[in-house]
A and B are shown apart, each in its own frame.
Chain A
Amino acid sequence: MKHLYAALLGVAVLASPGLATAQDGPVMKRIAETKTINIGHRDASVPLSFLGQDGKVQGYSIDICLKIAEAARVELKLDKLEIKFVPVSPQTRIPLLTAGTVDIICESSTHTLGRSRQIAFLNTTFLTGSKLLVRKNSGIKKIEDLNGKILVALLGTTNERAAQAEIDSKGIKLKGDIVKLKDHSQAMLNLEQGRADAYVSDDVVLFGLASASKNPAEWEVVGPYFSYDPYGMMIPRNNDDWRLMGNTTITRLIQSGEMAAIYKKWFEPGPTNINYPMSDRLRENFGLVALPD
């Protein structure tokens, strides 16, 4: 009798989905059932995730995610997988992910511990960090040169935080507080109008802004990095099978050399002429991320 109870208990434990597959979340199941994958994208994170002039979603992160979607299709043995693009913003991306509206977010989000409390990240696929965009003749070469100058940043970004920490620790006296704005184009307008002297953001973004400005020769990206921003795709938490699927795909892309080709397509010099060659740091990162089988 004792054995019977033990056996029944064992069966109950195995049969209870909550326990048996505790870490396999609903995403893979949802993709298999609906034969659809919902990819979150941005409209102007050039050239990682943006809308082209033809209105098509494209970019470096998007290309990687399309490979992940294809791998999921093969893994789930689907003959067709429909890809739906859902626009997201820094304000909406985490709620949309936790609500299950999107399965993966492919843009330019920095992997942080704070964010990891709400969602999970795939392995790092891009590296950047905070630098300053200034006028060439401004005499600003590093953050210490900002004494008495006006600095703008986007509200709540990792760059703003990094700049504030740097300013506090080095005792730099800005003119007023950091001006906190909503989007890249507004920050650029503040620089162009002479309202501000420097804009702190991820250097890849700054290169993009400078290359897209009226007179790219007028601008320069300066300073040693004072923050380290690894980008990764965001997925809902507790979806280990989905996460493994994504990370395996990223590893395969690196091993096969496809990742380097995707990078070249978007950054060297890329359709937007950003001309941002692969850094040694990113090459090193790819070596680390390509885990052995």
Chain B
Amino acid sequence: MGGYNWNWPILLKDPYFGWIVSGFGNTWLLAVLAWAIAFPLGSVVGILRTADSRALRLIGTAYVELFRNIPLLVQMFLWYYVVPELLPADWGRWVKREMPYPQFITALICLGLYSASRVAEQVRSGIEAIPQGQRFAAMAIGLTPVQVYRYVLIPVAYRIIVPPLTSDFLGVFKNSSLALTIGVLELTSQARQIEEYTFAAFEAFATATVLYCLVTGLVIVLMRGVEKRSRIAGTIAVGAQ
């Protein structure tokens, strides 16, 4: 690294410090809101994939395959550039010109729907990991299908899938950086902007890296707590301690 002039203090100067803070805030907001869409939606889709009805299973499978198989970057472009063109002219105009925060909202929808497909797969595998006998036993005592899920399958399945869900939750934070491609000023794009203004490339990206690690570290700690509280004795979720 000979010849590179290190300049750490510049990151504390105005407006660069403010950019990092706002980028970090946008990353948080985008990831948390996307997760708020992904978790409930993914749960519904995942449950559909294990339903008795063939039609419901098909809907769930179609959703997962559609959103999981298209690269997220391509989905960002599709939502931002193609979908508004497919809407009726008035709606398309509204989305393109009148909708508040068009880049952020588009990125949020895109990231939320994509992450839902990943949550759905975790939920499905959680439910399928429960021995079939439990479902049959529940039905044998006269529970309706909804009750079978509500009282027997879901309480167990969610506790099994906490560890893999942690990875997906982390994934949302990291994937949120792709929102920069449609113009959301989140952490990575602010790091880029600082680099373009100050040429302190290594400083800006090192800071972004540390902040990402901090967030993901926090999520891991949080989810470890959830894992501890929700684990079921005698299941694989306890793992090797």
Contacts and interface: CB of A to CB of B under 8 A. Distances in A.
B167 interface: no
Contacts of B85: 193
A156 B103 contact: no
A100 B96 CA distance: 44
A95 B201 contact: yes
B84 interface: yes
B183 interface: yes
Interface stretch (A112-120, A126-134, A223-231, A273-281): A112-120
Given A150-B97, A193-B96, A94 B183 contact: no
Contact of B192 (A91, A114, A189): A91
B189 interface: yes
A94 B185 contact: no
B5 interface: yes
Given A117-B199, A155-B192, A157-B196, A180 B4 contact: no
Interface string B162-181: 00000000000000000011
Interface in A176-194: 179-182, 189, 193-194
A91 B198 contact: no
A114 B201 contact: no
B3 interface: yes
Nearest to A194: B96
B138 to A, nearest CB: 52
A260 to B, nearest CB: 33
A153 to B, nearest CB: 10
B97 A98 contact: no
Contacts, number: 62
Most B-side CB within 10 Å, residue of A150, A155, A236, A238: A155
A114 B198 contact: yes
B199 A115 contact: yes
Contacts of A150: 97
A287 interface: no
Contact of B185 (A157, A180, A237): A180
Contact of B197 (A100, A156, A175, A238): A156
B91 interface: no
A185 to B, nearest CB: 11
Given A115-B199, A155-B193, A236-B3, A193 B181 contact: no
Contacts of A237: 3
B192 A118 contact: no
B195 interface: yes
B17 interface: no
Contacts of A94: 199, 201
B5 A118 contact: yes
Contact of B201 (A91, A161, A194): A91
A237 B3 CA distance: 7
Nearest to B194: A156
Given A182-B181, A189-B81, A156 B96 contact: no
Given A91-B201, A180-B189, A98 B195 contact: no
Contacts of A189: 81
A180 B22 CA distance: 15
B100 to A, nearest CB: 8
A90 interface: yes
- Pick from B3, B7, B97, B197 the residue with the most CB of A within 10 Å: B3
Contacts of A115: 199
Nearest to A183: B181
A156 B3 contact: no
A117 B193 contact: no
Given A150-B97, A189-B81, A181 B183 contact: yes
A150 B202 CA distance: 33
A91 B195 CA distance: 8
Interface string B1-45: 101110100000000000000000000000000000000000000
14 contacts: A91-B195, A91-B201, A94-B201, A98-B1, A98-B4, A114-B197, A114-B198, A150-B97, A155-B192, A155-B193, A156-B193, A180-B193, A193-B85, A195-B96
10 A-B pairs closest in CB distance? A156-B196, A118-B199, A195-B96, A156-B193, A98-B3, A98-B4, A179-B183, A181-B183, A155-B193, A180-B183
Given A98-B4, A182-B180, A236-B3, 18 more contacts: A90-B196, A91-B195, A95-B202, A98-B1, A114-B197, A114-B199, A117-B199, A150-B97, A155-B180, A156-B193, A156-B195, A156-B197, A157-B196, A180-B183, A193-B85, A194-B93, A195-B96, A195-B97
